[in-house]
Amino acid sequence: MRARRKRVGKPVIGITCEVHKIGPYYSEFDLFCDYRYVRAIIRAGGNPVLLPINPFRRDVSLLLDGVDGVVIVGGMDIHPSFYGERSGRKVEPMYRGRTYFDMNLYRLAQKKEIPVLAICYGMQLLNVIFGGSLFQDIKSSIRWARRHRSRRQAVHRVEILPGSHLHKIFRRTTLMVHSDHHQAIKIPGRGIEITAFAEDGVAEAAEGPPHTVAVQWHPERQPKDPVQMRLFRHFIRLARRYRMGRGKREA
């Protein structure tokens, strides 16, 4: 009689949350998540859960014990003090508690070898963690920069470096992407390699740290694009592999 395989189940994906005022009848510390991130993870085969901001490192570590992958989602701007600069007029700073939480979360995820998908602010955070810096405002810093903000449609093309990890995921060197950011990587951090660029030279994807994929654009806003969904499906495969390995480690 053939032995039955133990069912692994869907990988559990922790999704970070944003904190700020979302309407005139809400407080300034509303915790929320754009449902499009959740929808993309579900469609790719994952089981999403939200990760609330927690200032205690030990508690963050315990949160990570319950997930197989982490998505660091978009948000407001990282305060320039985190990369050694003064804040300019164009900066839209986020609640610093979120920045500290996300930094702790990423470092602990790296230590536990948990796959991480970093999107928009998430990619910028990754660069800052490794000692890099950001353009505080693309339009003010790069005279020839093209439009990088739109909430409705794919607004520009990105070029992916041949042979990069991202190239293997998307299986192509050009993409039309939905972009919504006014900041970008200026100086890459230690071990950070820029592997996709907009036509104006602005960094659009980064890799280097193990178990991490980072993009500046918003793939979750193009759910009907099968090419964009390759990123989420690849991430879910990594999370599933981690889940299977965790089962063996706990056995």
220 labelled catalytic: yes
Please give the full DSSP string across the chain, using - where no structure is assigned: -PPPPPP--PPEEEEE-EES--STTS-TT-EE--HHHHHHHHHHT-EEEEE-----HHHHHHHHTT-SEEEE---SBPPGGGGT----TT--BPPHHHHHHHHHHHHHHHHHT--EEEETHHHHHHHHHTT-EEES-HHHH-TT----B-SSS--EEEEEPTTSHHHHHHSSSEEEE--B-S-EEEE--TT-EEEEEETTS-EEEEE-STTEEEESS-GGG-TT-HHHHHHHHHHHHHHHHHHHHHHHHH-
Catalytically annotated residue among 120, 181, 182, 234? 120
120 labelled catalytic: yes
Catalytically annotated residue among 148, 181, 218, 234? 218
113 labelled catalytic: no
Catalytically annotated residue among 148, 204, 220, 234? 220
Active site residues: 120, 218, 220
